[in-house]
Amino acid sequence: MANAAAERWPSTADQGGRVTITDVAKAAGVSVATVSKVVNGRYGVAPATAARVFEVVEQLGYESSLVARSLRRRRTNVIGVLVAEFEPFSTELLKGISQAIEGTGYELLAYSGGSADGNRVGWERRSVSRLGGTLIDGAVIVTPTVVAPVHDNVPIVAIDPHTGPSGAPTIDSDNLAGARTATEYLIGLGHRRIAHLRGREDLESARLRELGFREAMEDAGIEVDPDLIRVGNYRPDLADAPAHELLDRPDRPTAVFAANDISAIRIVEVAHELGLRVPEDLSVIGFDNVPESASCNPPLTTIAQPLHQMGAEALRMVVDLIEGTPREHHVRLPTSLVVRASCAPPPA
Amino acid sequence: MANAAAERWPSTADQGGRVTITDVAKAAGVSVATVSKVVNGRYGVAPATAARVFEVVEQLGYESSLVARSLRRRRTNVIGVLVAEFEPFSTELLKGISQAIEGTGYELLAYSGGSADGNRVGWERRSVSRLGGTLIDGAVIVTPTVVAPVHDNVPIVAIDPHTGPSGAPTIDSDNLAGARTATEYLIGLGHRRIAHLRGREDLESARLRELGFREAMEDAGIEVDPDLIRVGNYRPDLADAPAHELLDRPDRPTAVFAANDISAIRIVEVAHELGLRVPEDLSVIGFDNVPESASCNPPLTTIAQPLHQMGAEALRMVVDLIEGTPREHHVRLPTSLVVRASCAPPPA
DNA sequence: TTGAAAGCGCTAACAT
DNA sequence: ATGTTAGCGCTTTCAA
C-alpha cells in the first residue's frame, strides 16, 4: 500500500527538485507534522503510521534539510570551524578537531570565508554572523584577524588568537618559550648575525615569537640589528620580498628564524635561487612543524606546536561551552624543538 | 539621526540574540523589504534611505543569515566539499580546492558527515540531501562509499570514485599505471616475494591498484601468493592486523606495496615493533604522497598523486557544471614515483 | 519609493 | 493519534 502510494507520487527529485517533507507527507497520505514527528522520533504516532512513513522516507530517499531545520530549531548539533583558507596550518588543526569530534554526536562544518575579495580582514565576524545562531551551535575560529567577536548566542573559541585584551576563550601554544628555544639553538650553533622574519602583525603569536627572539638574543648578549627584523606575515608570497632584502646583501645574516614554517620554506627557496646553500651558507629555522616542513629540501628544523592536540582541545572547549560544562577558558600547550637538516654552524 | 535611532533600538545581540534583518529595519525605521533591497543592492531605493540603512547595518554589525537566505533564494554561491573525515588525503585535496576557489566568487564549505555513528556508509547521500538544494550550489565528494548520488538539482563531482558504472563526473589519477610503477620498482630492486595491502573494497582506485600490482607481477613472470594479498581498507587502524599477519611469519615477504601512504606508514611501524628494519629487512612503498609520507621514519618511497591539482580540477568542474559551461566530465591525472628511503634490495 | 504579504522547508504549540 | 497553524530570517512579487 505504502509502496503503491509512493509510486503514484514519484519523488519530485525525479522531476528536478529535492525531496521535501511535503513530498513524503503526500506520498504517505499524512500531514507534514506527522512526518516530522516520525522522523524525529517523537511520541504520539501510531506504529502503523510510523512504519508507513519510514517506508516512504526510505523509498524517496528523504533527508531533512539542515538549513530549514536549523532555521526553526535551536540546536543543529554541528560545530563550525572558521578559517580564512585551507592551508597547512589550519588543515592540521582540522585533523585534530575531526578526530576529537568522533563519538561526541556533533558534526563538523569547516567554512572558509576569508577567500572572497573584500574579506581579507574581518572575515570571521562575517562568518560568525552568517552561520551563527543558525546552522552552527558553536565555532572555533582559527587565527582571527580581529578580537574574537563575542556572540552571546554562539560559543566561540579562538586558536592562535588576535592581540589585545583577551577575555574570550583561547587555545595557543607557548610561543614565547618556543621562540627562545629556536633562537638559543641558533646561538648555540655559533650564530651571531641572526635575522627574524616576523609573522602577522595582528596576531599575539607573532608578537610573542619576536619577543622570545629578542629575549634570547639579549640574554646571550647579542645586539639585534633592526635591519634584520622583517615582516613576512606568515605567508610565503609575502615572505619573498623580505627574504630577498635579507639575503641579497654582503652583510647578510648567517641564520634566520622565520615565524612559521611555510615562510621558512620560502626563505630556503630564495636562498637557493641566490645560489646559497642551506645549511652550509645559511641556517633556517621555522615554527609550527606542519607536515610540509619535513618534505622540503633540506628538511626543516623547526619548533613544533602540537597542532592536532590544539585542535582537539579547542573542540572539547566549544563542546563544554555549548553544554554549559564549567572549565578553564585558556589552554596553552608546550612547544618543542624538532631538529632536522636546515641548521648548521655558521660558515667560517 | 540614524545614529540616534540605532541607539534607541539597541541590537538584540546585546540582549543575547543575533542581529536580524528585523532589528535593522526597526532601527532604521523602514520595512524589512527595504533593508533587503539595500543590502542586496537592488534598485528602487532612495539614496538617503539606503545611506541610513547602511549606517544602521554597520552600527549593528548585521550580516544576513546564510541559512535563511539560502532557504529563500536559489543560489548561495557556496560550494560544498563532502568528506567522511578530515585526514591527510582529504585535507590535501582541500588545499587544492581552496587555492582554486580564489577569485571565483564562491565560498567553501567542507562538511564531514561520516563521523557520526551510523553513517559510515552512505554518508554522502545523506550529506547531499541535507545540504543540497539549499546551502550549497554544488558539491565535490571525496571517496564516496556509494555510487555518486545524482541529484538533478545539485551538480556533483566525485574524487576517487566508487566502483561501478560511472556516468557521474569524476576526477582520479592513473591508479593502474601508478600501481604498476610501484610494483616494477620493487621488482627492479630484486624483490620476488611481494605483498600487497589492498585499499577500500568499494573504491575503483583500490581495484585498479591491485590490478596494476598483479599485472606487473605477471609481466615479470612472478606468481602472486594469494596469501600475500590482504585488505587494509586505506586505514591505519585496519592495517594493523593484516600487517601483523604478513610480517609475523617465517616466509614473510621482503617487500610490501601498500595501497595508500597512511597504511604503509602503519606497516613500517608494525615492522619496527617486530624488530624488523626498514628498508634493510623489509621494503615498503606507499601511494598518494601525502605530506606525512615524508616525515615518517624512514621517509616513505611512494607513488605521488597530484592531490592539489585533483582538488583544483574538481572545483573547476563543479563550477563549470553549475554555470552550464560544457566540458569533459572525466579527468584523469598522471601519477609519479617518489623515491625516498623505505625501499632497498631484499636481504641476501 | 516603499511596504505588505507570501512562502522557502521545517518544527512545535495547540487544536481536534 | 493526527492535523492545523504559526513562525524561524530572508527575498520577492505585487500593491499602494
Q: What grid cell was written down for A261?
A: 614554517
Mutate which: B18, B19, B57, B67, vs A, most A CBs within 10 A: B67
β-bridge partners, A324: none
Q: What is the pLDDT of residues B199-252, one digit of tens each?
A: 999 999 999 999 999 999 999 999 999 999 999 999 999 999 999 999 999 999
Please state whether the peptide bond connecting residue B299 to the residue before it is cis, i.e. omega within 30 degrees of 0.
Answer: no
Of A68, A94, A129, the CB nearest to B91: A94
| Chain B, window 234-293: residues with a beta carbon less than 8 angstroms from a chain A beta carbon | 290-293
The domains located in chain B, with CATH, are 2-73 (1.10.260.40), 78-173+307-332 (3.40.50.2300), 175-305 (3.40.50.2300)
Q: For residue A40, give the nucleotide whose C1' atom is nearest its CA.
A: C11
Q: Which of residues 52-71 of B touch A (CB under 8 A)?
A: 61-68, 70-71
Nearest to B63 by CA among B105, B30, B20: B20
Give the least confident one: A25-34, A202-211, B165-174: B165-174
- When pLDDT is cut at 50, 70 and 90, the band that residue A118 belongs to is low
CA distance B147 to B138: 17
Kindly give the residue spans of alpha helices, DSSP state H, lying in chain A.
2-8, 21-28, 32-39, 47-60, 66-72, 88-101, 123-131, 175-188, 204-219, 236-247, 261-273, 292-295, 307-323
> What does the pLDDT read at residue A129?
86
How far apart CA B86 and CA B102 sit, in angstroms, is: 21
pLDDT band of A150, cuts 50, 70, 90: low
Strand D contacted by A44 CB (< 7 A): yes
Supply angle C-alpha B219, B335, B167, rounded to 5.
Answer: 95
* Selected residues 79-108 of chain A with any CB under 8 Å from a CB in chain B: 85-88, 91, 94-95, 97-99, 101-103, 105, 107-108
The chain-wide mean pLDDT, for chain A, equals: 90
pLDDT band at B15 (very low <50, low <70, confident <90, very high): very low
Q: What is the pLDDT of residue A236?
A: 95
CB contact under 8 A, A133 and B98: no
Q: How far is B238 from chain A (nearest CA, A)?
A: 16
Residue A15: is its pLDDT beyond 80? no
pLDDT, tens digit, for every residue of A157-180? 999 998 876 778 999 999 999 999
Looking at every residue in chain B, the average pLDDT score rounds to 91
Quickly count: other Cβ atoms within 10 Å of residue A5's Cβ.
Answer: 16
Query: Which residue, B228, B232, B261, B264, is CA-closest to B247?
Result: B228
Q: How many Å apart are B135 CA and D2 C1'?
A: 32
B125 against A69, higher pLDDT: A69
Nearest protein residue to the C1' atom of D2, measured from CA: A34
| Protein residue closest to D13, using CA and C1' | B33
Query: What strands lie across the sheet with B255-258, from one edge to the other?
Result: B229-231, B194-198, B255-258, B283-288, B301-304, B336-338
Question: What pLDDT, on the 0 to 100 scale, is given for residue B148?
Answer: 65
> pLDDT for A249-277, tens place per residue?
999 999 999 999 999 999 999 999 999 99
Q: Give B151's pLDDT tier (boundaries 50, 70, 90).
A: low
